[in-house]
C-alpha cells in the first residue's frame, strides 16, 4: 500500500515554456500532498504544501506565480512550472500523506530546461 | 528555525557489520520521527517511523528515540552492499497549522564487501 506515482518521470523543455507534473496517490486518499525540489548532492527542499480543495501554502522564497499547484481531488495534485528557465532544472518530488503524518514519496520528475 | 542535524559522512562499514546513523533535532515539540533511504538519482523511500521513546525494530533496522536528548538513530544490522545509500532523518513539525517534515542533509552510507 501507500503507492505514489508521478508523471512524467523526465521532461526536457525549452526556456520560456511551461511544464505540468502530476502526482497521484494510487491506493489511498491524500488530503495533503507536498512538493519538494532537490538539486544535485543537496537535500530535499520543501516548496509547498498542497491541500485538497484549498490554496497551496508556499515556503518562504518560493514564487507562487511561477510554481502553480492545484490539488483538485484527494488523489491528484499538479505542479506547473511556468515560463521555465535553466535555473529551474532540478529533480521535483511529490509526497502524499497516509495516516496521521507519514509521507510517501513519488518517484520524482527530472526537469531539464534548455 | 527548526533544524535537523546529521553527519554527512560518508560512513563506511564492512559487509555484515552494524551501521549506526545518528540525528539530532531542535524542536522539543516534535512527536514523529522518520528515516528514509535515498539511492542516487531516486526519490526517498520510507524505512521506519517512530513516535515513542525507546527502540523500534523492523527486520534488520532498529530506530531509537530519546526525546529528552532530542536524538534519534537508526541501526542497520548485517549491513549489505545494497544498503549503500543516503539516509535521511526527518522530523515532523507543525507550522502554520499544518504538519510538515524537516529533513536533515542526510548521511551517506557505504557498505564495502
A68 with A83: CB under 8 angstroms? no
| C-beta of residue A27 within 8 angstroms of C-beta of residue A3 | yes
| Closest to B85 in 3D by CA, of B53, B42, B50 | B42
**Nearest residue on chain A to B4, alpha-carbon basis:** A43
Give the model confidence (pLDDT) of A4-36 as tens digits. 999 999 999 999 999 999 999 999 999 899 999
d(CA B108, CA B86): 4
A46, A93, A108: residue with CB nearest B100: A46
Output A41 or B108, whichever has higher pLDDT. B108
CB contact under 8 A, A102 and B45: no
- Closest-CA distance of chain B to residue A44, Å: 7
What would the pLDDT profile of B40-49 be if each residue is shown by its tens digit?
999 999 999 9
8 Å CB contact of B44 and A44: yes
Any A CB within 8 A of B106 CB: yes
| CB B6, CB B74: distance < 8 Å | no
pLDDT of res. B98:
78
Amino acid at each position: 500500500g501507500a503507492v505514489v506515482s508521478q508523471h512524467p518521470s523526465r521532461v526536457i523543455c525549452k526556456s520560456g515554456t511551461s511544464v505540468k507534473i502530476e502526482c497521484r496517490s494510487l491506493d489511498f486518499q491524500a488530503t495533503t500532498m507536498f512538493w519538494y525540489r532537490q538539486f544535485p548532492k543537496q537535500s530535499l527542499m520543501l516548496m509547498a504544501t498542497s491541500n485538497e480543495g484549498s490554496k497551496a501554502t508556499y515556503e518562504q522564497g518560493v514564487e507562487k506565480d511561477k510554481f502553480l499547484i492545484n490539488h483538485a481531488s484527494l488523489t491528484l495534485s499538479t505542479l506547473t512550472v511556468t515560463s521555465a528557465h535553466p535555473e529551474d532544472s532540478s529533480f521535483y518530488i511529490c509526497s502524499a500523506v497516509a495516516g496521521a503524518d507519514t509521507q510517501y514519496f513519488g518517484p520524482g520528475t527530472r526537469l531539464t530546461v534548455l | 528555525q527548526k533544524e535537523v542535524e546529521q553527519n554527512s559522512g560518508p560512513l563506511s562499514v564492512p559487509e555484515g557489520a552494524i551501521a549506526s546513523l545518528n540525528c539530532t533535532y531542535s524542536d522539543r515539540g516534535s512527536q514523529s520521527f522518520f528515516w528514509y533511504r535515498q539511492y542516487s538519482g531516486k526519490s526517498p523511500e520510507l524505512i521506519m517511523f517512530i513516535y515513542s521513546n525507546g527502540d523500534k525494530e523492523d527486520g534488520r533496522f532498529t530506530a531509537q528515540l530519546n526525546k529528552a536528548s532530542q536524538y534519534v538513530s537508526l541501526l542497520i544490522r548485517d549491513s549489505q552492499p545494497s544498503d549503500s545509500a543516503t539516509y535521511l532523518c526527518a522530523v515532523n513539525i507543525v507550522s502554520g497549522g499544518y504538519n510538515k517534515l524537516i529533513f536533515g542533509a542526510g548521511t551517506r552510507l557505504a557498505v564495502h564487501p
